Amino acid sequence: MAVAPHGGPGLAVARFLDSLPDRELRRFLDPGVLSVLDAIFGGRIDGEDLRRVSRTLVDFDVLLGEREGRRLVLNLIPEQKRAELEARVGRAIAAGGASEWTESEVRRLRDFFGLVEERIVPPAVPPTDTITPAYSLFDHQRNAVRRLAPLLAEDERRAVLHLPTGVGKTRTAMHVVADSLRAHEPSVVVWLASGRELLEQAVVAFKEAWTHLGTRPLRIGTMWGDRMPDLARLSDGFLAVGLAKGWAVISRTDPDWALRLSRRVRLVVFDEAHQSIASTYRRITEELTLDYRCALLGLTATPGRTWADIDKDGELAEFFAGNKVTLEVPGENPIAYLIDNGFLARPNFRTLLSRPGLAFGERELARIARGLDIPEEIVTALSMSEQYVTAVLGAVKELVDAGHRRVLVFAATVQHARTLSAILIARGVRSNVVTGLTPVRAREHAIRTFKSDDEVPMVLVNYGVLTTGFDAPKASAVVIARPTRSLVLFSQMVGRAIRGPKAGGTETCEVVTVVDPSLPGFGDVAAAFLNWEDVWQ
C-alpha cells in the first residue's frame, strides 16, 4: 500500500462516521430523512443501523466542498488526527473555524479522508480469432437500416425509425450516422435530444460505433448544460445538442447558430421524435435542415404526439413526410415475435398497493386529472411517506427473496432514492444509489458493479438518470416507485430490464409497479407495454 503524504495514514470516511456519537452523527442527516428513518426503524434510528445508513446518505465530497460542511467535519476530527491533517493541508485548523479554502487545500482535505480519484482498469483485450463484427446488428435492425437509406436520400429526405423500447434504436441509428459521415466528407451530424442521459448515451454510442465503422478522425462536440463547443471549428464530426440548450442560445446569445451550422450538416437525428413538433424544437430542427442535402431521422418508440389528438399525430407524420420505418418480422405482433425469439424478455407485470399515504383534496385531484403528469410536490410528499417507503422496500425484498440477482428501482426523487438505498444497506442488502447529483466516478462504479457477474444480489436505486441511455441486461426485475401518468416514461423504465437472451439479457423479467390507491391515474399503465401495436396501426 502506498504511503500517504506527510507520513500519516489519513482517516477513512466510514471510520470517522463510525466514531461519532449518535447525537453528532444525526447532524449530518437531513431532518426530513431522519423523520422517515425514525418511523421505519421503530421510533428512533440509532447505533449500528444509524451508522450503516449514514455511510450511504452522507455525501462527504459535497460536505468538504462547502464552508458549513467543512466546519461541521473539522470540529469533530479527533485531536490525535488534527496535527496530521494540518501537516497535510499546510495550515492551522482552529476549532469552530472553516474559513475559505483554496482548491488545492480542499483536494488535500479530501485526500486525507481517502476521497481520491479511482483508476478504472480497462477490460482485458478479447480474443481476435473470430470475424464477428464488433458493432453488429440483428437481421431486423439491418433490414430497417436498408429501408431507411432511400427515404433519407430522396425527395423530402425525412423518416422516422420506429422500434419498441429495448430493441436498440440508438445502435441501429448509429449505422445510419456512420453511413452519412462516410458518404459526405467533410460533414456534420447533429443529434438532438432532451435530457443529459440521452445525450451522453448518444456520445458514448457514437464513439463506439465510429471506432468500428469510421474511416477518418472526427471532432465530437457536446452542447448541453454549461457545455458550449466552438461551432466555427466543427466542420467534420458529430455534435450532440440538448434541445433546451439549443433554444437558450438562440434566445439569449446567438440567434443564428443553427442557420450557420446548417451549411455543414448533412444529417440531423431527433431522439424521442414525438417531441419534434413543439414550436421551439421545430424551429431548431428546421434551421439545422435548411440545406436541401440534409436528411432528418426521427427515433421513437411512440410515433404519436399524443394519445388522443389525431390532428397532432397527423402533424407529426407530416413533419416527417409520412415516412415511417418499423419492424418487419413474421407474424402480426412485432412484440410477440421479439419475445418468442429471445430478443426481448417475457415481462410479468404486477401491481403492489401501498396503504393510502396522503389525503388528496378536490383541488389536488383536479390538478392531477388535468395534467399530463403528476405535480412534483405531490410526488415528493407521497414518496417520502412511511407507508410508501415501506411498500417499496417490501417489493424489493420479495424480488430478492425470489432469487433475482439484479433489481433496478426507479425512485420518485433524489432523497427518495438515497433513503431507499440506505435502508436496504442497513437491512443487509447490497445496494447503490445513482442520481443526477452522483459524482461521475461513483456513478460509473455503481453501474459497473451492477452489470458485473458477481453472484451476490444487488439493488440499484436511481432517480432521473437511468430511464434512458442505460442497458443492464442482467437486470431481471424492475420496481417502478416513481408515480407517473406518462406511458412514454413508463415504457422507458420497463425497457431497462427487457433485454432478452439474444441481447445478453434474461428470458423473463418481473415489473412491479408500486402504487398509492389514493392517487388517480397511476398504476393503469402496466398493460401499455404490450399494447403499443394499437398505436402503430
What does the pLDDT read at residue 2?
Answer: 38
B/e letters for 200-235, b = 16+ CB within 10 Å, e = fewer, are bbbbebbeebbeebeeeebeebbbbeeebbebeebe
119 to 113, 190, 200, 233, 382: CA distances (angstroms): 17, 32, 21, 32, 40
C-alpha cell at 386: 412511511
What does the pLDDT read at residue 358?
Answer: 52
The CA-based dihedral angle spanning residues 196, 198, 204, 209, taken in that order and rounded to the nearest 10 degrees: -150
Specify the 3-state DSSP secondary structure of 271: strand
Q: Where do the domains of the chain lie, and which CATH numbers do they carry?
A: 5-112 (no CATH), 139-328 (3.40.50.300), 340-536 (3.40.50.300)
What does the pLDDT read at residue 500?
Answer: 78
Q: Which residue type does 278 have?
A: A
What does the pLDDT read at residue 208?
Answer: 94
What does the pLDDT read at residue 191?
Answer: 98
What does the pLDDT read at residue 537?
Answer: 37
Per-residue pLDDT of the chain (537 residues; tens, 9 = 90+): 333 444 567 888 888 888 889 999 898 888 888 898 998 888 888 999 999 998 888 888 888 888 888 888 888 888 888 888 888 888 777 655 556 788 888 888 888 888 865 555 666 666 666 677 888 888 889 999 999 999 999 888 999 998 877 778 899 999 999 999 999 999 999 999 987 778 988 999 999 999 999 999 999 999 998 999 999 999 999 999 999 999 999 999 999 999 999 999 999 999 988 888 888 999 999 999 999 999 999 998 766 544 444 455 677 888 998 888 988 878 766 777 888 888 888 877 777 765 555 555 555 555 545 444 455 666 666 667 777 788 888 889 989 999 898 898 988 888 888 888 888 998 889 999 888 788 878 888 888 888 888 888 999 998 877 655 566 667 888 888 877 666 666 767 777 667 777 777 778 888 888 765 555 443 333 344 343 333 333
What does the pLDDT read at residue 514?
Answer: 75
Q: Is 182 exposed, middle or buried (0-12, 13-18, 19+ CB in 10 A)?
A: middle
Asked if 147 contacts 325 with a C-beta cutoff of 8 angstroms, the reply is yes
> Cα 75 from chain centroid?
37
What does the pLDDT read at residue 521?
Answer: 43
Asked if 230 contacts 182 with a C-beta cutoff of 8 angstroms, the reply is no
C-alpha cell at 501: 437472451
Which residues, including other chains, have CB under 8 Å from residue 181's CB and lie 6 or more apart? Answer: 187, 189, 210, 214, 215, 218, 238
CA terminus-to-terminus distance, the chain: 63
Which residues, including other chains, have CB under 8 Å from residue 152's CB and lie 6 or more apart? Answer: 158, 159, 176, 180, 267, 295, 296, 297
Q: Is 513 exposed, middle or buried (0-12, 13-18, 19+ CB in 10 A)?
A: buried
User: Which of the 8 DSSP states describes residue 387?
Assistant: H
What does the pLDDT read at residue 286?
Answer: 95
Backbone angles phi, psi at 307, to 5 degrees: -100, -5
What does the pLDDT read at residue 534?
Answer: 38
